[in-house]
Structure 1
Amino acid sequence: MGMMKRKAEKQAAAPVSAVAARKARQQQAQTVTAPKNAPAVEPAGEPPSKKPRRSLEGYETAETNGEGRRVPQTPAAKKQNNEPLLAGTATKRQTRTARSSKPETQSRVQDICENPEDEESEVYTAEGVGEMNEDDVASIAGDADGYESPAEPAIELQNFPLSKIRLSKSNIVYSDDSTLCIRIKEKTNLAVLGQYDLWVKKGLVSLMGAKLHPSSRLFRVYAPSTHSLPVIKCVSGVDGEAEIELKSCSSGISRLRDLNLLYQKVWNGGNTAADKISLKGALKNSRRTFSVLYTSADDTLKRHLRPLHLDKKWSSSMKALSMRQGRLRALVCGPKASGKSTFSRYLLNHVLSPAPETENGYTNADGVAFLDLDPGQPEFAPMGQVYLAHLRSPFFGPPFTHPSLDDSPDGEMVRAHHIGATSPKEDPDHYALATMDLMDQYRALLARYPQCPLIVNYPGWIFGQGLEVATWLVKCLGLSDVVYMSEKGPAEVVEPLGLAAHEAGVTMTILPSQPTDFVSRSSAQLRSMQIQSYFHMSRPTGLSTPLWLETPLSLSRPITVDYAGARQGILGIMVMGSQINLDLLREVLEGAIVGVVAVESPHVIAGAVSNGASGGDDEENEPVSGVDVDMNLDERAIAGSSTMSIADSVTRTPHEDLPYLFIGSGSCTPLDPKASHCLGLALIRSVNPSSHQLELSTPIPHSQLSESLKSGYGIVLVRGQLDNPNWAISEEYHAARAAERRYQQSVTQTRKGGDAGSEKKGGDLEQHNQTLALLRERVRRASSVPWMTVVEDNSRRQREAAARREKSLWKLRKKAYPGSESETDC
């Protein structure tokens, strides 16, 4: 750990390039006759979990025919297919055959949007709203710098088997327009797309690693098309059958499609063949929030769907690890896109499986501690955080369906720390300090729950300096097991990990890589979806499941906080990285995502010395070194912070009087994790210098903020290096477009329903024109907001010209659709 400050050595220490490894796998895959979408790491006989992915930034404006071939567009077609885009300052298109730069924002996916989503109970087809084409999905595999796989030719969708059961009168117990109760035979499974509540009435079924016995409890399941579909499998049952009930639910998460095109075509579409059988006798046009699929061809939206199958070695390893019961302390690590998150999620659900009410065996009454050390793709928190969570019930769904544990009855956030970046490599020292503090919290948790096992999810930062951190954790965390998710090595990684495990007396298990979590969004896009879900999720009192609100943040009521004066509520505002000019602080903050950090002590500057310098790269100022880290952390925190407090480090800006908190030499020293913790994230909507107030939007519960203030904690806002909140800038625009589109289609359906008299027609026409004018005015106003530019012409030349003219941070390119004069009259 003494080498963590040497940034140059970090780059040179990586023994194996993830890019080179990926190219080798692709060359090997080309020599076999398997389908192009079969990943090289898949075991023989297993279905492919991912398909070839294409670079979104390298996508050029063109249409594809039914066979996936690009066809030229006429000038009229190009005008017809102008599409929305929310991009960063660099809008230059790259070639399809290579990609070297990281996508700046999630909204580049809108370059390939063409058609609307048809899902849940809201039936309409929006001719101008984007569709996530599954043939043009972005890569999620890459190194820590966000490398995306080279683009590959589009392939035709395959008719892939999903379920081993077909619905009929013999296995349908009862059904209506919202409920389906069926019997499943042993060793068979059922694939369901959408969201639903699952009730196990008879038998034993497995779902996402959990074994569910008959009980009166309902389990909320989210199965979007962005990930591999979880399957419901009958393990054992009465007379060889299990009986389950699926019930439609309305969580509101599907309505986020009106705010962000990334949420389009995520849930179930029209009724499938299985749905039509079970809906016989129901009302016409009845639709549930879930659909049963026999094969991928049953999907009415023609998406690239795959079931989620686990390797047999994975299953046996989960069983062996769960046998340790309360003594389990497992670290899951491995290369990127090897299935670490999937394995951790399934292992967590397996250990949390509720025991049957009549069983007298081991019962996990103490829950499971989940230490998530992956700030780029956290499971139960938005990006940029590492945390310790105490969970009491399994979770069924990808991370964007449970982005927060605030007020959750199924778990709680014990402690979280704001890293301010999606990769630990930005500040390994702070990352190590936060990790050790979370381990101290776990030891304190054991005093109340002595049989609480621990699962540690380590990020894909496993090469070079990341390997150094991983081996240090193996030696210091007191683990029982280390699970490495790759049988192909490399030896430069496996050997040091194995040696560290041997020295610490820890069992090391090597499992095959299995990227079973098929996703049709890149890592950056999934982070965008998760953080947007985080800001729109709420937990009303009395409900055990969360709800999502589709109101744009710009229309919601902000929280007003004084940053100066007698009622000052913010101790300081910290900007991670290099020191900035005081005159630029306001521009840096407005429209940014910040961490809301509660300061437990005024002496919270980690590693600060009396002269205010952090010590640079001197060896004597390194906070940790090898196995002595555990006993050095407390000593250095006390010695370093005894003479430096926040009040001594705050500098007021000359014009706005903002409390700028900076300590260090060259780069900002972060807050000490032992004297601070993160409450959540907030979006700074504006800075008002005249009233000395900040306007914030945050989903942090008021009770949590009040409790922190009553405890005497101060609040510090930390601006890190998180992705720009482009989704928040364009929410109102997309919502306005969706409202206009729905109104036009409702009028069209009304006209088709009957023919009224001419006088009534005239009155309806006048009312229609007035309403449509108001909706178009809303679209116009929503398209004229800061940091966003509407470009009518979709040609590359016009986009590049607009990029040169406009130096704003975010841009939005709109697509004109028939009947929307507001898109063409400007």
Structure 2
Amino acid sequence: MKRTSDSQAKAPLSALAARRLRQQRDASEPTSNGSSPALTPVAETISAPAGQIPNGGQVDHGQRSPSTAPAAKEPETAAALADESSRQVSNFTQTEDNYVYNPQTEETTVKLRRGESLVIQGEYRVSVKSGAITIYSAILDSSSGPLDVIAPSSLALPIVECAPKSKKRKVDSRDGDYDAVFNLENIRTGLGEVGRICPRFDKIWKPPLTTTTITGGSNDSFTCLLTSPQPPVTLTISPSWQSTITSLGSSKNSPKSIFITGAKSAGKSTFARCLTNAITSQSPRRAVVYLDLDPGQPSFTPPCMVSLHRITSPIVAPSFAGPRSAELLRQHHIGYASPREDPKYYLRCAANLFREFRAQSEREGEQPTLIVNTCGWIKGMGRELLHELVQLCGPTDVVGLGDVDGVFAEILPSESTARRHLPEAAGTGATAGNASSSSGSQPFTPAELRMLQTIAYFHSLPGIGSGSSSGPAAGFDFSRHLTAVPPLLAGYTGPGRVIHGMTVLDTHVPRDLLFAATTATIVAVNLVKADDADHPVNRYLADAYDADHRAGNEREYENGKDGAAPYICSSEFDGTSSLVPAEKTMTIGLAILRGVDETNGQVQLLMPVGEDALNAWLEKGYRVVLCRGRDEIPVWLMWDWRSEQQQRKRTGADGKRVPYLDFVVGGEVTGKGAKEWKVRRNIMRRGQQRR
């Protein structure tokens, strides 16, 4: 079976379907003369090298000019040309009245009747003009304001439907017998160009092969999907989910503290997002504080982080799109994609985030709904961690996705009065969470989604996630590779140094190998208050100062030739909690340590946190400590596969300039460290062994 460039299998086509596709390419396709576009089945495009235009230099913008080729004997519509095996994606029939594109404003007006649904892939801004719609469990009406939707096929696509009937949601009489009218507007966050950096994600914004779509303007940032032989994964809320969300989203028995647990791939993050949208879209609006304790697949931060966010409006975007409408309250870098590596520090960070939630609520004088999302580790030590987290949060409601009755019995205290909810896990039954589609499960693995999240994070522009969905849409820049981005230069020696310490978590590294162990890795940018004499880092540095003073090496220490700076030996501390305690340490983001200039005593950092923002923290009296954990850095962040220079390196002409990558030259792997280590073990027969 052949596979596409993104490793997804193509559905086989019958001979009749192939003939009809050839007729479609050769025959003329009439375009609509009105303001409504025509239905168009998407054909496979031929990829061309960067800078070249396929199809003989002609650009296809989705509206083809009539051809002079003879028409078929029996005229067929574009929708009828689709394969007989095509399955319905949207329960929507386009007419000249219910789907109108305005070329002047570049907006599209859509009108829905009750029972109709529309699946839209891409990036768009939706504004309800009359009636009400539901999308990703959020209910929007004319008073809700615009909402930005980012819907790639890397995860389940949301479905737009009419909201349930309500006396408050009246439809304008001018709209006839339609139940909801809304506008779609183009937005561009920059995420559509992620394929320039990593080709694995090049097609997440494109419909599947031979999908029947509705096209509007030639530069639309979204596509409405109707039918496809390979339907994408769509988000269908199961009845058990809907009833649980309705119960938890009610304003009765508020405020609530909702604890969500379940096994891996059970749909915890999707359920938490749906519940958040259902609460924040209510009128009057209610705020949600989201405590994310899943470092492997976080909802708003890069991997290996736990965080606390305040959310005041629905979020219809994947995790790698950044928290555009979520306010970051606090975050911690635990250094691993799972709490199993350092459970003590994981619990300390979770406790600090929960205390921050309490303090924030007291300062504002209100108690918003708290949603706690946990990781999928529910066996062994993972169950013990859940028990500790339940005692910490004291939830009013506990949600268990899937078969977790046994888990509840062990993690809930006997005196607990928390209400228990047991909706089905995603992927079970006819409809369920984020894997509910007849086409199968998610097209990407959790490891690939972490890679996408990391790539998007380091290409995000400063200021993303300021908290407003109606602000500028652009938030990512994939126009140039990170290797072409000028790094921030931060000194680690002398009186004006910025970096006061560097460490590798839970690993003893000789002082002279510090830079070798941290170069070309992801490090956390932690802030420590300089006047906090009780902080372990400050005590460590103070002891180093005293030692140098006693040895008469003050000048050498300031020049960076000796002393503790910038190295902090983590093996001298009792775990990460003793080195960078969550209570006294602030994590502002991640950075890639691109290189070190030992002559001038500077490190080169690539990070989405701007220079002005970092300097503002320094002016407040904070010191920067870089901590390397086990964050995985995608090879695409280090290798510009498009550039001609990298093509020469692949042939071995300049391979010495990329010591951290391996290349295949003439069938042999080259590069520093490319050879396989062969360990010889003298295994002897029993007769050869000494007696």
* TM-score bin, normalised by smaller chain: 0.7 to 0.9
For 1:560, the equivalent position in structure 2 comes to 489
Is 1:695 the counterpart of 2:627? The answer is no
Corresponding residue to 1:806 among 658, 669, 674: 674
For 2:285, the equivalent position in structure 1 comes to 363
For 1:517, the equivalent position in structure 2 comes to 434
Q: How big is the shift at 1:270?
A: 9.2
Whether the 8 Å CA contact 1:369–1:389 is kept in 2: the answer is yes
Is 1:787 the counterpart of 2:655? The answer is no
Q: How big is the shift at 1:431?
A: 0.7
For 1:223, the equivalent position in structure 2 comes to 151
Q: What CA distance in whole angstroms lies between the structure 2 residues aligned with 1:182 and 1:808? A: 59
Q: What CA distance in whole angstroms lies between the structure 1 residues aligned with 2:132 and 2:109? A: 15
SS at match of 1:200: strand
For 1:375, the equivalent position in structure 2 comes to 295
Whether the 8 Å CA contact 1:582–1:654 is kept in 2: the answer is no
Q: What CA distance in whole angstroms lies between the structure 2 residues aligned with 1:375 and 1:535? A: 17
For 1:723, the equivalent position in structure 2 comes to 632
For 2:160, the equivalent position in structure 1 comes to 232
Is 1:313 the counterpart of 2:229? The answer is no
Whether the 8 Å CA contact 2:194–2:201 is kept in 1: the answer is yes
For 1:251, the equivalent position in structure 2 comes to 189
For 1:506, the equivalent position in structure 2 comes to 418
Corresponding residue to 1:461 among 377, 380, 383: 377
Structure 1 segments unaligned to the other structure (5+ residues): 1-53, 69-113, 127-155, 298-302, 356-361, 609-640, 738-773, 810-826
Inter-CA distance 212–649: structure 2 relative to 1 (3 Å threshold)? farther
Q: What CA distance in whole angstroms lies between the structure 2 residues aligned with 1:507 and 1:802? A: 60
Matched to 2:235, the amino acid is L
Inter-CA distance 395–539: structure 2 relative to 1 (3 Å threshold)? farther
For 1:637, the equivalent position in structure 2 comes to none
Is 1:384 the counterpart of 2:316? The answer is no
For 1:242, the equivalent position in structure 2 comes to 180
**TM-score (normalised: structure 2):** 0.75
Q: What CA distance in whole angstroms lies between the structure 2 residues aligned with 1:309 and 1:427? A: 37
Corresponding residue to 1:267 among 198, 205, 229: 205
Stretch deviating more after TM superposition (575-584 or 651-660):
651-660
Inter-CA distance 776–676: structure 2 relative to 1 (3 Å threshold)? closer
Q: How big is the shift at 1:179?
A: 2.8
For 1:620, the equivalent position in structure 2 comes to none
For 1:705, the equivalent position in structure 2 comes to 614
Is 1:400 the counterpart of 2:338? The answer is no
Q: What CA distance in whole angstroms lies between the structure 1 residues aligned with 2:595 and 2:662? A: 20
Corresponding residue to 2:409 among 495, 498, 502: 495
1:168-204 Cα offsets, whole Å, 9 max, x none, are 1231244449432110011321011111111111111
RMSD: 3.8
1:305-344 Cα offsets, whole Å, 9 max, x none, are 1221111111111111111465021011110000001001
Q: How big is the shift at 1:451?
A: 3.5
Alignment: residue pair count: 571
Whether the 8 Å CA contact 1:603–1:646 is kept in 2: the answer is no
For 2:24, the equivalent position in structure 1 comes to none
Q: How big is the shift at 1:449?
A: 4.9
For 1:660, the equivalent position in structure 2 comes to 567
Structure 2 segments unaligned to the other structure (5+ residues): 14-43, 57-82, 172-176, 428-432, 436-441, 465-469, 548-556, 678-691
Inter-CA distance 478–394: structure 2 relative to 1 (3 Å threshold)? same
Whether the 8 Å CA contact 1:605–1:672 is kept in 2: the answer is no
Correspondence list, 1:748-767, <5 A? none
SS at match of 1:342: helix
Inter-CA distance 776–439: structure 2 relative to 1 (3 Å threshold)? closer
Whether the 8 Å CA contact 2:500–2:565 is kept in 1: the answer is no
Inter-CA distance 64–289: structure 2 relative to 1 (3 Å threshold)? closer
Q: What CA distance in whole angstroms lies between the structure 2 residues aligned with 1:166 and 1:574? A: 60
1:369-423 Cα offsets, whole Å, 9 max, x none, are 1110011111111111111111222111110112xx4xx5x33211111101100
Q: How big is the shift at 1:787?
A: 1.7
1:508-539 Cα offsets, whole Å, 9 max, x none, are 21121114324322111111111111111115
Whether the 8 Å CA contact 2:208–2:232 is kept in 1: the answer is no
For 1:101, the equivalent position in structure 2 comes to none
Inter-CA distance 676–807: structure 2 relative to 1 (3 Å threshold)? farther
Inter-CA distance 530–509: structure 2 relative to 1 (3 Å threshold)? same
For 1:5, the equivalent position in structure 2 comes to none
For 2:593, the equivalent position in structure 1 comes to 684
Q: How big is the shift at 1:478?
A: 2.5
Q: What CA distance in whole angstroms lies between the structure 2 residues aligned with 1:157 and 1:446? A: 57
Q: How big is the shift at 1:274?
A: 6.0
Q: How big is the shift at 1:792?
A: 4.9
Matched to 1:159, the amino acid is S
The one of the two structures with greater contact order (alpha-carbon pairs below 8 A, sep at least 6) is 1
Q: What CA distance in whole angstroms lies between the structure 2 residues aligned with 1:307 and 1:158? A: 18
Matched to 1:476, the amino acid is L
Q: What CA distance in whole angstroms lies between the structure 2 residues aligned with 1:316 and 1:122? A: 53
Inter-CA distance 397–220: structure 2 relative to 1 (3 Å threshold)? same
Matched to 1:558, the amino acid is P
Q: What CA distance in whole angstroms lies between the structure 1 residues aligned with 2:199 and 2:191? A: 13
Is 1:534 the counterpart of 2:454? The answer is no
For 2:686, the equivalent position in structure 1 comes to none
Is 1:339 the counterpart of 2:259? The answer is no
Matched to 1:806, the amino acid is A
For 1:431, the equivalent position in structure 2 comes to 346
Whether the 8 Å CA contact 1:474–1:504 is kept in 2: the answer is no
Q: How big is the shift at 1:209?
A: 1.3
Q: How big is the shift at 1:275?
A: 4.7
Matched to 1:208, the amino acid is Y
SS at match of 2:361: helix
Whether the 8 Å CA contact 1:383–1:531 is kept in 2: the answer is yes
Whether the 8 Å CA contact 1:419–1:720 is kept in 2: the answer is yes
Q: What CA distance in whole angstroms lies between the structure 2 residues aligned with 1:117 and 1:274? A: 20
Q: What CA distance in whole angstroms lies between the structure 2 residues aligned with 1:696 and 1:775? A: 22
Corresponding residue to 1:168 among 92, 95, 100: 95
Whether the 8 Å CA contact 1:386–1:418 is kept in 2: the answer is yes
Matched to 1:531, the amino acid is T
Q: What CA distance in whole angstroms lies between the structure 1 residues aligned with 2:588 and 2:319? A: 19
Whether the 8 Å CA contact 1:570–1:715 is kept in 2: the answer is yes
Inter-CA distance 524–290: structure 2 relative to 1 (3 Å threshold)? same
1:417-453 Cα offsets, whole Å, 9 max, x none, are 1101100111111111111111110011112150421
Inter-CA distance 261–776: structure 2 relative to 1 (3 Å threshold)? closer
1:19-42 Cα offsets, whole Å, 9 max, x none, are xxxxxxxxxxxxxxxxxxxxxxxx
Whether the 8 Å CA contact 2:660–2:672 is kept in 1: the answer is no
Which structure is larger by alpha-carbon Rg, 1 or 2?
A: 2
Q: What CA distance in whole angstroms lies between the structure 2 residues aligned with 1:782 and 1:353? A: 56
Q: What CA distance in whole angstroms lies between the structure 2 residues aligned with 1:804 and 1:158? A: 51
Inter-CA distance 331–554: structure 2 relative to 1 (3 Å threshold)? same
Whether the 8 Å CA contact 1:572–1:717 is kept in 2: the answer is yes
For 1:294, the equivalent position in structure 2 comes to 226
Whether the 8 Å CA contact 1:162–1:306 is kept in 2: the answer is no
Q: What CA distance in whole angstroms lies between the structure 2 residues aligned with 1:125 and 1:270? A: 20
1:561-595 Cα offsets, whole Å, 9 max, x none, are 00111111112112112211222211111101000
Q: How big is the shift at 1:647?
A: 3.4
For 2:112, the equivalent position in structure 1 comes to 184
1:46-103 Cα offsets, whole Å, 9 max, x none, are xxxxxxxx9x9xx9xxx988649xxxxxxxxxxxxxxxxxxxxxxxxxxxxxxxxxxx
Whether the 8 Å CA contact 1:192–1:290 is kept in 2: the answer is yes
Whether the 8 Å CA contact 2:662–2:672 is kept in 1: the answer is no
SS at match of 1:429: helix
Matched to 2:511, the amino acid is L
